Amino acid sequence: MAVAVYPGSFDPVTLGHQDIIERSSKIMDRVIVGVLKNNSKSPLFSVQERVNMLKSVTGHLPNIEILAFDGLLVDFVRNCQADVIVRGLRAITDFEYELQMSQTNRVISPGIDTIFLTTNLKYSYLSSSIVKEIAMYQGDISAFVAPEIAVKVLRRAADVKNKRPS
């Protein structure tokens, strides 16, 4: 049985992430989406909120599980008894960072490989950071995230903006 871990911050989950999850669910027997807890990027959503959002957009996929993780990705992969890490590659700009991560992970844990799925062209420009930036100005994010995610992101962005000193 082939088990993959698809790790990330997912702050918030985008249609690009959903595309990678759907496609890997067809290739692998089981896919565990690992949501990073100790994120130095000071996320807009708590890890539990990010897990819940991922659950709501992947509910129709029976072989997907959403789990939070802390610490090293390779330890999480080992604990899950997974075979590989899945990452999406959007453009050449992703390549250097992804190569560094996958090579480092393989050095510290030689049994663990990373496979890359090239992102659907429709989403090759898309990132959670761009979605958050647009949301901070209450812009239209409906082309980038699922409708239920858009509602949550716009609401949280408005809350954050209201609390900031002007």
Q: Which residues are designated catalytic?
A: 17, 41, 90, 128
Per CB under 6 A, the segment of 7-15, 46-54, 111-119, 145-153 that binds ligand PNS is 7-15
Pairwise CA distance, residues 53 & 9, whole Å? 12
Q: Closest CB to ligand PNS among 24 and 105?
A: 105
Task: Give the helix ranges, DSSP H, for 13-79.
Answer: 15-27, 47-58, 73-79
Does residue number 7 form part of the binding site for ligand PNS (CB under 6 A)?
yes
Pairwise CA distance, residues 36 & 14, whole Å? 16
Helix and strand element counts for the chain (H, E): 6, 5
Q: Closest CB to ligand PNS among 101 and 146?
A: 101
Residue 37, SS3 per DSSP:
coil
Site mask for ligand PNS (CB under 6 A), range 54-73, x = bound? ------------------xx
Instruction: Using CB under 6 A, list all residues that contact ligand PNS.
Output: 7-9, 36, 72-73, 101, 104-105
